[in-house]
Structure 1
Amino acid sequence: MELTGFEPDRTLPGLLLERASREPDAVALRYSRDGVVRTITWRTYLDQVRELALGLVAQGVRHGDRVAVMSSARPEWVFAALAVQSVGGVVIGVYPTNSPAEIEQVLVHSEAVAFLGETDTELAKVAKIAANTPALRLVAGIDAAPPDLPPEITGATWDDLRSAGASSSADGFTELIAATALDDPAVLFYTSGSTGAPKGVTHSHRTIQHAIQSVIGLYPDSRTTRHDVVGFLPLAHVAPAVLLVFTPLHTRLVVTFCRIEEYGEVLRAVRPTVILWPPRFYEKLAAELISRAESWNPLRRGAYRLAMRVGRRVAERRWSGRSASPALRIIYTAAVRGVFLPLRATLGMDRIRVAWTASAAMPESVVALWQIWGLDLRENYGLTETAGCPIGQFGQPFPRPGRIGREFPDPRFQVKLADDREMLIRAPLLFDGYWRNPTETEAVFEEGWFRTGDLMERTADGDIRLIGRKKDVIITRGGKTVDPQPIELRLKESLLIEEAIVVGDGRKYLTVLLEPGAGAESAGRLRAELDRVNADLARVEQLKDFRVLPRPLEAARGERTANGKVKRAAVVESFAGLIDEMYGTDDDAAIADHVRRGPR
C-alpha cells in the first residue's frame, strides 16, 4: 500500500478474502481470556466472518441494511463488522456504556434492522426499548441469549447465526462480497454529541482505506514488519475502529484484544510496539511511573534525578533545533538504557519507539516527560468525519510539544485557513456525509472543503497549531472573546488538577470549576495553581475564583460524552448554583434585587 497516490481496488471484505487466501495460517489477531493469550489465524478469521455473514442473510439481513454492535473490544466485534460488510451492510458501533435511551436514539435514527449485544447487560438494555425501534427485526447475543422481545423481533445467539451460516453455500458468500462497491457505505460512526445531538457519520469502503493509508503513515514499516498493539478502547469510536479493526487488513499489525480493566496486565505481557491513545492514558501512566520512581531506594532515586537532568537538556536542544554534544548524547543514551527503559518496562512500554496521541489536547508537559523518557511521543489530528489522520507530526523525531504537525504527505491531503481562522480540510478520507441529514452535511462543506470547527494557526516553520474550537468560546459581558481550552490545558498540567472547566459566558470575568487530582488536599494548593496559570494570562483571561466540584463529571448525567469529552453546556447547567457562588452579587443580581426590594 503506497503512502502517496494510493487508490483502493477492493472492499474491506475483499481484502480479508485475499489475505486469508495468501497466508491462511499466519496470525491475524489475538485475544486475552482468563489470563491466557490465544491466537486466531486468517483462515479462522475468514471462517467466522463467512458463517456469521451467511447466518445474517438467513435472518433477512440484506445489502444496505444497518446492523448495530454493542460490545467491548474483542474479536467478535471484528468478525461482526466484516460479516455485515460482506453482506453489503453498514456496521454501527454502540458504546457499551450507552443508556437504553441513547441506544434507542441510534437504532431509530439509523433504522438498524439487527442488533448484536455482548452480554446480558447489553441485551437487557436493547430489550427495554426494542418496541420503540420500528426497523429492528433481529437481536442476537454473543455471550448470552436475548431476553423476551416483542413478537415481531427474532432472538438468537452468536452460535445460532454461525450454525445457520455454516450450512449455507460458500459460493454465496463470495457472490455477496462481489456485489458490494467501494463507494457503498461501510461504517456509520456516531459523533460524541459534545456540541449537540449525535450525528451519524457515513464512511465508505473507499474512505476507510484512505484513513488506513494515513494510519500507516504513523508506522510506515507496519506494511512489511510485524507490529503489536493492545486493543482495549471502545470500537464504537472511530480511531480504535480504524486502527484495530481495519488497519490490520492492509498491514502486519497484530492486535491483542482485552477488556479495559485488564489492559495493564496485557500491556506487560504483549509489550506493544504500536500505541495510539488519547491523552488521559499517557497522563495516568506517567503519574504511575513518577510514583514508582519516587518509591525507589536512595541510590536509584539519585540515578533517576541525574537522568532527568540529562534528559531535559537533550529535549531542550531537540526542540530548539540544536544538536546535543557527543558527550551529552552518550550520557543520555546510558540514561535511557539504564534508567528510563527499565522504568517503562514495568508497564510493558519498553519496545515502543514512536507513540501517538489524538482526540483531545495533550498538556505539553506530558509530551515533554515521555520524550525525556526516550519515547518519541507525537500528536496527530483527526475527527470522526476524517476517520484517519490528515494531519500529524510525520517528520522529525521528538517534535516540539504543542503542535499537531503538517498535512499527510500525499498532495491530495490539503489544509487551508479560513478568514475566521477555522481549519478547512480537503482529502480522500473525508466522510460521505451525515446519515440522512443533507442539511448538516451541506453546512460543513464549502466548495469541497470540510469545515472542521477547529481554529488554527501556522507557525513560522509551517507547522499547525490548534488554538481552540470555533463553537467553544466564551464571550464576556465586555464583549471579549476567550478560548477556554488553552487555559484549561494549562491548569491540567498540574498533578493536583484532574479536570478544569472555565466558565464566564455573559459574565464580567472568568472563573473555573475544578475536579481535583491526587494530593490536592487543600484549597490553598489549588489557589496556588490558579495563581501560576494567571501569571501568564492576559487580564481578560485571568481566573478570578474557583470551586471544587462535589463529584466527578458523569456520562450518565450528560456531562461527558461516551468517550470522555466534557460537555460544557451540561456541566454549566448541572453546577449552576456553584458557578453563581463565584460571582456573588454581581450587577444583574444587584439590579434584580433592587427591583424586588427597592433601594436600601
Structure 2
Amino acid sequence: MTVGTEMENMVSMSSPEGGRNGVPVLRSVSGFEAVDRTFAQMLCDRAEREPDTVAFCSWVDGDARPTSWSEYLEEVRETTLGLHDLGVAPGDRVAIMSSTRREWVVAALAILSVGGVPVGVYPTSSVPEVEYALESSGATAIFAEGTSDIGKVRAVAAGLPHLRAIIGFDAEPADLPETVKTVHWDYLRAAGSARAVAEPELFTLLVEAGDIDQLAALFYTSGSTGAPKGVRHTHRTLQYSVLGFAMSYPEIGTTRHDLVGFLGLSHVAPALVGVFAPIMTRLVITYCTMDQRVEALIGVRPTAVLWPPRMHEKLASEMLQTLAESGRAFRLGYSIAMKVARKVSDLRWRGRQVPRYLEALYELCMKCVFLPLRAKVGMDRIKVSWTASGSMTPDVAALWHMWGLDLRELFGTTETCGSVIAQWDRAFPAPGTIGKAMPDPRWVVRVSHEGELQVRSPCLFDGYWHNPEATASALEDGWYRTGDLVELSSDGEVTIIGRMKDVLKTSGGKSVSPQPIEVRLKASPLIDEAIVVGEGRKYLTVLLSVSDETQAMTPHERDAALTRWIDEVNSELARPLQLKKFRILPRALSAAAGELTAKATIRRSNILASFTDLVDDMYDVGEQDEIARQARFARTDHK
C-alpha cells in the first residue's frame, strides 16, 4: 500500500527573491525545489536582507539576549577564518562536543562556510565512544566545551592521526600531542577577525565555493543494531528535511515563533530545528542548558516546542503537582473545567463539530484555569507542540489536548532527518497514531509484506559514511527500510507496533540495543541471564536471573555483589545507557511459559509480561497513573 497526498498553498523555503523583507512568500509544495544555495550562502542572504532582525537568542543571567542576523554572520565569519588559519579545508570533518549553546550553532555554520562537515558528538559519550566518532569520521578538528570534554579527547588523541586541532569553548586545551594545535574559542575568533581585515574577500570566496550537493552534516545513529553509523546529509537533503518539518505547521514559514532549545544538538531532530530550520523559516531559538530550561521556558514563554515524549510527560507531572498544591477554589474550578475539556476533546478526536455553547464554556475554562496552570511552566503561549524520537503515551497526549495544547506527533529517523510522517492534517489529532505521509506527493510511505514501514522522500540521506554494504541494506529501489513494524489504516494513518529488530527506545528518545549490555552483564559468574528494560521508560533497568553461586549467598551479600558488578558495567557505558535499578527474577525462565525459545533464546516481550510487577517496581509508575487518571483516556474509544 502507498499513501501520498498533495495540499495546495503550503510553506515554501527561503529563496533569493520575493516576500516581505526579502523573505519568500508561500507557494504550493508541489512547486518547491531546493534553492541552489548552501546553508552558509543562505545565512549571508538572510543577513543582507534582514540585518537587524533577531536571528536567535541566548539565555544569560535570567534573560534572553538577542543576536541579529548581521551579528550572527559576523561571528560565523570570524570563526570560519579562524578555522581556515588552523588548516581546516573543504571536505574536512569537524566535530562538536558540547551542550546546547550559541557557540555550537556558530561553529556549525562556520564549518559549513569553510566547506567542512559538522559532526555532532554527544557530550554524554564515554571515552571509547568519543574515540569511535572521531576515528570513524576522520575528524581533523573538534570543538569541545569544558575540561571534562577536552579530557576525553586528550585520552584518545594520540591514536587519532587525522586530528590536527582542538578548540575549547570554556577552557584552554592543554597536554595534547604536539601534532594537535590547541586554541581557545575567543582566540580563534580574534585570529579570524584579524584575517578578515587583512583579506576582506576571503570569507566570501570560501562561502561561494560551496555547492548544494556537498555533504553538510554527518549524524551518527545510536548504534542500536551494531556499531553507530555515520549518516550523510547534503545541503539539498537538509533543505527538504526542513520542508518536511515545516509542512506539519506552515505558519513557521511566515510568522515568528519562539522556541527554547536545550536538547542536545548532536541529535538529528534538535539539530534540524535548532541549527538549520531557523535559516529557512521564522523560528527564533533561545539556546539554554538543560539546567536552565525551566527558567528559560517561563522567561521566554515560547510559542512552539519540539520535545521527546518524556519532556511532555515530565511537565504534565509538574503541572499536576502545582495543581495539588493550589487552593481549594482553584482545584474545584479545575475539576469543573476538566469535565468540559473531556467533552470537547472527545468530539475533536472523533472529528465532530463542537457546539457553540460548549466551545464558549471551554474558552472560559482556558482563560480561567488551563492557561494560568500552563503559565506555571511557561507553556501558556504555545501555538503548536511537536513530539518525536519516542513513543508518546496516548494518556499524556490526551491530557495536554484537554489543557488546550495542540500536540502533534512527528516521525522521522536519522536517515530522513526531517519528518516523513506527521499529524499535519488537523489540530488536536486523536492520540495513538503517528499521523500520515506528508502532504506532498514526493513524500510516500508503504508497508512491506512483513509489516515494515518503508518511505521514499527527497529528504532521504545520501548513504552511510564509508559503509556501502549498510547503505545497500537500508535502501531498496529508492525506498528506505525503517525497521519499524506498523499498521496502516484505510485512511493512511500509521501506527507503530514494534521493531523488526529487538531495539528499546526510551521515553527520552534514546534508541538502545540491549544485547551488548546484557552480554557484558553475563560475563560475571553471578548472572545467568539479563534482560534490559526501558521501552517507553525514563531510564534503563534490568531483570536478572542469577547463578546457583549467587543464590547461595545471603541477601545482603548477593545484593552488594550484584550492585558492585552493575556499577562496574555502568562505568563503561555512556550515561543514557547506564542501568539505574535491578530486580532478581523469583524463578527460572521457562520455555513452557513462552519466555524462552527452543534454543533458549529469551523472548523479551513475554518475559516483561510475566514479570510486570517487578518491572513497575523499578519505575515511578505513580506519575503516569495520575496522568492516565486525569485524562481518563481509552485508546480504543477514539480511533
The separation in 1 between residues aligned to 2:77 and 2:95, in whole angstroms, is: 18
Matched, 1:27 2:59: no
Matched, 1:11 2:41: no
TM-score, normalized by length of structure 2? 0.77
Q: Secondary structure at the match of 1:310?
A: helix
Residue 310 of structure 2 is matched in structure 1 by: 280
Residue 59 of structure 1 is matched in structure 2 by: 86
Matched, 1:39 2:105: no
CA offset at residue 188 of structure 1? 0.5
Q: Secondary structure at the match of 1:434?
A: coil
Q: What does the per-residue CA deviation read over 1:281-309, in whole Å, with 9 as the maximum and x for residues that have no partner?
A: 00000001111112222211111111111
CA offset at residue 517 of structure 1? 9.9
CA offset at residue 461 of structure 1? 2.6
Residue 93 of structure 1 is matched in structure 2 by: 120
* Letter aligned with residue 15 of structure 1: M
Alignment of 1:536-575 (within 5 A): 557=570, 564=576
Matched, 1:198 2:228: yes
The separation in 1 between residues aligned to 2:70 and 2:50, in whole angstroms, is: 8
CA offset at residue 321 of structure 1? 2.3
Residue 321 of structure 1 is matched in structure 2 by: 351
- 2:409 and 2:435 in contact (8 A); partners too: yes
CA offset at residue 192 of structure 1? 1.3
CA offset at residue 167 of structure 1? 2.2
Residue 594 of structure 1 is matched in structure 2 by: none
CA offset at residue 422 of structure 1? 0.5
Matched, 1:583 2:588: yes
Q: What does the per-residue CA deviation read over 1:242-268, in whole Å, with 9 as the maximum and x for residues that have no partner?
A: 101111101121111111101000000
Distance 1:244 1:4, change over 3 A: farther
Q: 1:136 pairs with 163, 177, 196, which one?
A: 163
CA offset at residue 405 of structure 1? 0.9
Matched, 1:234 2:247: no
Alignment of 1:15-414 (within 5 A): 15-168=42-195, 169-414=199-444
* Letter aligned with residue 111 of structure 2: V
Q: Secondary structure at the match of 2:190?
A: helix
Residue 454 of structure 1 is matched in structure 2 by: 484
The separation in 2 between residues aligned to 1:584 and 1:223, in whole angstroms, is: 55
- 2:391 and 2:536 in contact (8 A); partners too: no
CA offset at residue 556 of structure 1? 8.2
CA offset at residue 581 of structure 1? 3.6
The separation in 2 between residues aligned to 1:357 and 1:389, in whole angstroms, is: 11
- 1:415 and 1:426 in contact (8 A); partners too: yes
Q: 1:427 pairs with 449, 452, 457, which one?
A: 457
The separation in 1 between residues aligned to 2:439 and 2:337, in whole angstroms, is: 36
- 2:126 and 2:573 in contact (8 A); partners too: no
The separation in 1 between residues aligned to 2:329 and 2:537, in whole angstroms, is: 29
Distance 1:559 1:370, change over 3 A: farther
The separation in 2 between residues aligned to 1:170 and 1:307, in whole angstroms, is: 62
The separation in 2 between residues aligned to 1:516 and 1:387, in whole angstroms, is: 21
Identity %: 47
CA offset at residue 329 of structure 1? 1.6
* Letter aligned with residue 189 of structure 1: F
Q: Secondary structure at the match of 2:260?
A: strand
The separation in 2 between residues aligned to 1:351 and 1:4, in whole angstroms, is: 32
Q: Secondary structure at the match of 1:383?
A: coil
Q: What does the per-residue CA deviation read over 1:462-494, in whole Å, with 9 as the maximum and x for residues that have no partner?
A: 211111111128xxxxxxxxxx98xx99xx9xx
Distance 1:356 1:59, change over 3 A: same
CA offset at residue 17 of structure 1? 0.6
Distance 1:554 1:383, change over 3 A: farther
- 2:125 and 2:574 in contact (8 A); partners too: no
The separation in 2 between residues aligned to 1:177 and 1:401, in whole angstroms, is: 45
- 2:437 and 2:492 in contact (8 A); partners too: no
The separation in 2 between residues aligned to 1:94 and 1:363, in whole angstroms, is: 29
Q: Secondary structure at the match of 2:347?
A: helix
* Letter aligned with residue 583 of structure 1: A
CA offset at residue 161 of structure 1? 1.6
* Letter aligned with residue 588 of structure 2: Y
- 1:190 and 1:201 in contact (8 A); partners too: yes
The separation in 2 between residues aligned to 1:383 and 1:560, in whole angstroms, is: 23
Q: What does the per-residue CA deviation read over 1:375-394, in whole Å, with 9 as the maximum and x for residues that have no partner?
A: 01110101111111011001
* Letter aligned with residue 246 of structure 1: F
The separation in 1 between residues aligned to 2:260 and 2:295, in whole angstroms, is: 11
CA offset at residue 160 of structure 1? 2.1
Q: What does the per-residue CA deviation read over 1:116-143, in whole Å, with 9 as the maximum and x for residues that have no partner?
A: 1111121111111110111000011111
The separation in 1 between residues aligned to 2:531 and 2:190, in whole angstroms, is: 60
CA offset at residue 559 of structure 1? 10
Q: Secondary structure at the match of 1:116?
A: strand
Distance 1:585 1:66, change over 3 A: closer
Distance 1:348 1:555, change over 3 A: farther
Residue 440 of structure 1 is matched in structure 2 by: 470
The separation in 1 between residues aligned to 2:252 and 2:430, in whole angstroms, is: 25
The separation in 1 between residues aligned to 2:414 and 2:535, in whole angstroms, is: 28
Specify every segment of 5 or more residues in structure 2 that has no aligned partner in the other structure, as ranges.
1-12, 14-26, 519-529, 539-561, 599-639
- 1:559 and 1:571 in contact (8 A); partners too: no
- 1:307 and 1:335 in contact (8 A); partners too: yes
Q: What does the per-residue CA deviation read over 1:82-141, in whole Å, with 9 as the maximum and x for residues that have no partner?
A: 111111110011111112211111000000000111111211111111101110000111
Q: CA RMSD in A?
A: 3.2
* Letter aligned with residue 216 of structure 1: A
**Alignment: residue pair count:** 526
Distance 1:132 1:238, change over 3 A: same
TM-score, normalized by length of structure 1? 0.82
CA offset at residue 560 of structure 1? 8.2
CA offset at residue 571 of structure 1? 6.8
* Letter aligned with residue 190 of structure 1: Y
Q: Secondary structure at the match of 1:105?
A: helix
Distance 1:186 1:343, change over 3 A: same
- 1:99 and 1:556 in contact (8 A); partners too: no
Q: Secondary structure at the match of 1:331?
A: helix
Q: Secondary structure at the match of 1:146?
A: coil
Q: What does the per-residue CA deviation read over 1:190-221, in whole Å, with 9 as the maximum and x for residues that have no partner?
A: 11122221111111111111111112223312
The separation in 1 between residues aligned to 2:286 and 2:335, in whole angstroms, is: 35
The separation in 2 between residues aligned to 1:95 and 1:119, in whole angstroms, is: 13
- 2:126 and 2:574 in contact (8 A); partners too: no
- 1:310 and 1:331 in contact (8 A); partners too: yes
CA offset at residue 561 of structure 1? 6.9
